[in-house]
Amino acid sequence: MSIPVVDLADFLSSDPHRKAAFVQQLGKAYEEVGFVAVKNHGVPDALISHLYEYVQQFFSLPLDRKSTYEVPGLAGQRGYTSFGREHAKGSEAPDLKEFFQYGQIVEDKDVVAEEYPDNVAVNEIKAFNQTLYSAYRNFEKSGKALLQAIALYLNLDEYFFDEYIHNGNSILRCIHYPPITLEPKSAIRAEQHEDINLITLLVGASADGLQILTKQNEWVGVTSLPEQIVVNVGDMLQRLTNNRLRSTTHRVVNPARELWHTSRFSMPFFLHPRSEMSLASLESCIDKKHPKAYEDVTAGEYLDERLREIGLKK
């Protein structure tokens, strides 16, 4: 399936017609599909290439070395999470993956810094740490622009989300799906799920496997060109818009048997707001045809609930 493609350069241009057209293209794609591919997204190709290189080096380390970067009590929010620890909401089967997570660094005197644990520095691959930082900041910048466009589509002030994502609780997750060495109990590397956050920015994975569930209840593969990133709506934005913008169900399926010996790498950036942001549905998204579907909750409360549901927090 070729998902809708939008050009972020249109939104960032000085041409009001190009900007307005982008807003409508993005909003309609999120109402109809839930995923878009974004070109001219602003994350340098060289940076993405270096990050993939260091990610592969990290996951090639012996397990006893990787395990030294797994920090108990952090619910996987920083550092390494070993194979089979996470499962989709409502599923008992663990996903066939291991991952490394990098989070927010507060560089002003914002009190929110007290909420965030330190990132975990990898000693064996010195360039990995700086590359994670650079990628994180670039994804933040691109995500901020996309949320400004979403705000305009929702008839909000263009900068509605800015204050909530400043020093937000976003996560850059580097995922490794290892080769399949035994007959798997499931054909799924990552069981069907919806993302927790506002939006997810995903640079092209190293192998096929991502599928989305269409409105016709059919699973279709999603592909994007190397110079594009795929961006989807998460549950927090779905709650905020009272289901106007839908969080799309997706999964990662196993490769064909002849490719079982191969790894798959993926690097989603989960754009989260600050924990105090209210996810109470916008009044403009509630009417007689669309009564309020969710209880009021803050982003922090909702994240805590979901981390428990997927097995990362007890």
Q: Is the pLDDT of residue 208 over 90?
A: no
Q: Which residues contact 130 (CB under 8 A, 6 or more apart)?
A: none
Q: Which of 124-128, 287-291, 305-309 has the lowest average pLDDT?
A: 305-309
How confident is residue 74, by pLDDT bands cut at 50, 70 and 90? confident
The predicted structure's pLDDT at residue 207: 54
Mean confidence (pLDDT) of the chain: 89
Taking each helix axis from N to C terminus, what angle separates 126-153 and 45-59, rounded to the nearest 10 degrees? 130
In contact, 232 and 270? CB cutoff 8 Å? no
What is the mean predicted confidence (pLDDT) over 220-246? 89
Does 1 have pLDDT greater than 60? Answer: no
**pLDDT tens, position by position, 262-291:** 888 889 999 999 999 999 999 999 999 999
Mean pLDDT of 60-76: 91
Tell me, letter by letter, the H, E, C secondary structure of 100-132.
EEEECCCCCCCHHHHHCCCCCCCCCCHHHHHHH
Architecture of domain 5-309: Sandwich (2.60)
Contact yes or no for 227/39 (Cβ under 8 A):
yes
pLDDT band with cut points at 50, 70 and 90 for residue 199:
very high
Residue-level pLDDT at 33: 83
What's the confidence (pLDDT) of residue 189? 66
Q: Which of 95 and 300 is assigned the larger pLDDT? A: 300
Of 244, 133, 150, the residue nearest 199 (C-alpha): 150
> Of 52-56, 180-184, 234-238, which gets the smallest average pLDDT?
180-184
Position 138 scores a pLDDT of: 97
Q: What is the pLDDT of residue 160?
A: 98
**9 or 192, greater pLDDT:** 9
pLDDT band at 90 (very low <50, low <70, confident <90, very high): low
Tokens of residue 46, six digits: 């060289």
Q: What is the pTM of this model?
A: 0.91
Name the residue with higher pLDDT: 304 or 207: 304
Q: pLDDT value at position 167?
A: 98
pLDDT tens, position by position, 3-48: 889 999 999 999 999 999 999 999 999 988 888 989 999 999 999 9
Domain boundaries, the chain: 5-309
Percentage of the chain beyond pLDDT 90 is 64
- Strands 229-233 and 250-253, how do they pair? unpaired
Angle, nearest 10°, between helix axes 16-32 and 126-153?
100
Query: Which of 77-91, 113-127, 141-155 has the least mean pLDDT?
Result: 77-91
DSSP letters along the chain, please?
A: -B--EEEHHHHHSS-HHHHHHHHHHHHHHHHHTSEEEEES-S--HHHHHHHHHHHHHHHTS-HHHHGGGB-TTSTTSSEEE-TT--B-TT--SBPS-EEEEEE----S--GGGGGSPPPPPPSS-HHHHHHHHHHHHHHHHHHHHHHHHHHHHTTS-TTTTHHHHTT---EEEEEEEPPP-S--SSSEEEEEE--SSSEEEEEPPSSS-EEEE-TTS-EEE-B--TT-EEEEE-HHHHHHTTTSS----EEEEPPPGGGTT--EEEEEEEE---TT-B-PPPGGG--SSS---S---BHHHHHHHHHHHTTS--
Q: With contact defined as beta carbons under 8 Å apart, do 74 and 102 qualify? A: no
Q: What is the pLDDT of residue 20?
A: 98
